[in-house]
Amino acid sequence: MEISVLMASFKRQDILRKTLESLKKVNSRGIQWEILLIDNANDAKTKTLVEEFKSSLPIHYLVENRKGKNSSLNQAITKAQGDLFIFTDDDVIVDSNWLKEYQEGVKRWPQFSVFGGRILPLWPDGMKPFPNINKSFFQSAYSIADWSFKEGPYEAGKVWGPNMAIRKKIFDQDYCFNEKVGPSGNNYIMGSETELTKRLENDGFKSVYLPKALVHHQIRPEQMSQQWLYQRAFRYGRADTFHEIHPHTAMFFGAPRYMYRLLLEFLVLRWKAILAKNESEAFNLMIKYWMTKGRIYQYRCQPKKVRDKDDE
């Protein structure tokens, strides 16, 4: 088997259908491949949907009862047969040459084991994103990986979950996804795939960008609201702290003291922006406010012995 496509799903039949329809149209000529769909809800409707596509796709239906996307992916990597594992999400539309670009791209870079493709947003009909939003947060919030450089080595932090590939031999060395990170209910730490790719990078496994391996990320209408973006910012802040605890800082109620001051400053500056009728500035300040709340929350969740170790 040459390629295994792995994706987890949780009760999103309508959007998953569009993903599977796009996979039906992918150019797979001359490629031995399979799809492993891991249902993290053990949902009858999802199973029925997958059965519907079995006549047109090499798809296998699996169930993971442990909560969390990473638990699902960890089951899948023990079952997948391909030499290359391509990871994606149940809310993408893959380009027709997606498989071919990965097949050919990994051959061009035989000394590399981690690969990332390009991710573009597919906005809901008639809806546009908020103007002048902080670019870094904007890309992260909507998983937009549209980097300005050509094919070649790049940092692991830019390899994102909706479109990435890792050689099977890496997982044969007992690497797996961290099940403490990633989608699992409503309040979770972002960056599940990034945690793995950065860990691999630290161990000497570098990444390559394959911009022609393209998927479009389906953005849902509810993801266009300010409240959704604030929640995303909160998770972003949690991830920042989880991945990079900052030592040697005066603490207050389990978190760095200066972060509480930042919360107040962001609120004051936001009200000034509102009075000045600068809506974009007011919105971006609220994003910073919620990021900081997420960082404080994660510091307070972090086991004390871990914080103490970082302070040594």
Q: Is 200 helix (H, G, I), strand (E, B) or coil?
A: helix
Angstrom distance (rounded) from CA 303 to CA 307: 7
The tokens 């005066």 sit on which residue? 250
* Residues 39-64, mean pLDDT to the nearest whole number: 97
Q: What is the pLDDT of residue 131?
A: 76
* Reported confidence tier of residue 308, pLDDT bands at 50, 70, 90: very low
Q: Is 22 helix (H, G, I), strand (E, B) or coil?
A: helix
Q: Is the pLDDT of residue 200 over 80?
A: yes
One-letter-per-residue 3-state SS of 206-231: CEEEEEEEEEEEECCHHHHCHHHHHH
Residue 115's contacts (CB-CB under 8 Å, 6 or more residues apart) are 102, 105, 106, 109, 159, 164, 165, 166, 207, 208, 209, 210, 213
Class of domain 3-221: alpha beta
**Residue ranges per structural domain of the chain:** 3-221, 225-310
Contact 122, 217 (CB under 8 A): yes
Choice among 80-84, 192-196, 205-209 with the minimum mean pLDDT? 192-196
Q: Is the pLDDT of residue 23 over 50?
A: yes
Task: Summarize pLDDT for 126-176 with one digit per residue, the tens.
Answer: 888 887 777 888 998 999 999 999 999 999 999 999 999 999 999 999 999
Choice among 73-87, 133-147, 177-191, 221-235 with the minimum mean pLDDT? 177-191
Contact 39, 62 (CB under 8 A): yes
* Reported confidence tier of residue 303, pLDDT bands at 50, 70, 90: low
Sign of CA dihedral 199, 77, 184, 57: positive
* C-alpha atoms less than 13 angstroms from C-alpha of 209 in its C-beta half-sphere: 19
Closest by Cα among 218, 199, 217, 197 to 209: 197
Closest by Cα among 29, 25, 39, 38 to 2: 29
Contact 91, 218 (CB under 8 A): yes
Q: Are strands 92-94 and 207-218 parallel, antiparallel or unpaired?
A: antiparallel
Closest by Cα among 24, 10, 5 to 164: 5
Q: Tell me the two tokens of residue 126.
A: 């008639």
Angstrom distance (rounded) from CA 115 to CA 248: 36
Q: Is the pLDDT of residue 272 over 80?
A: yes
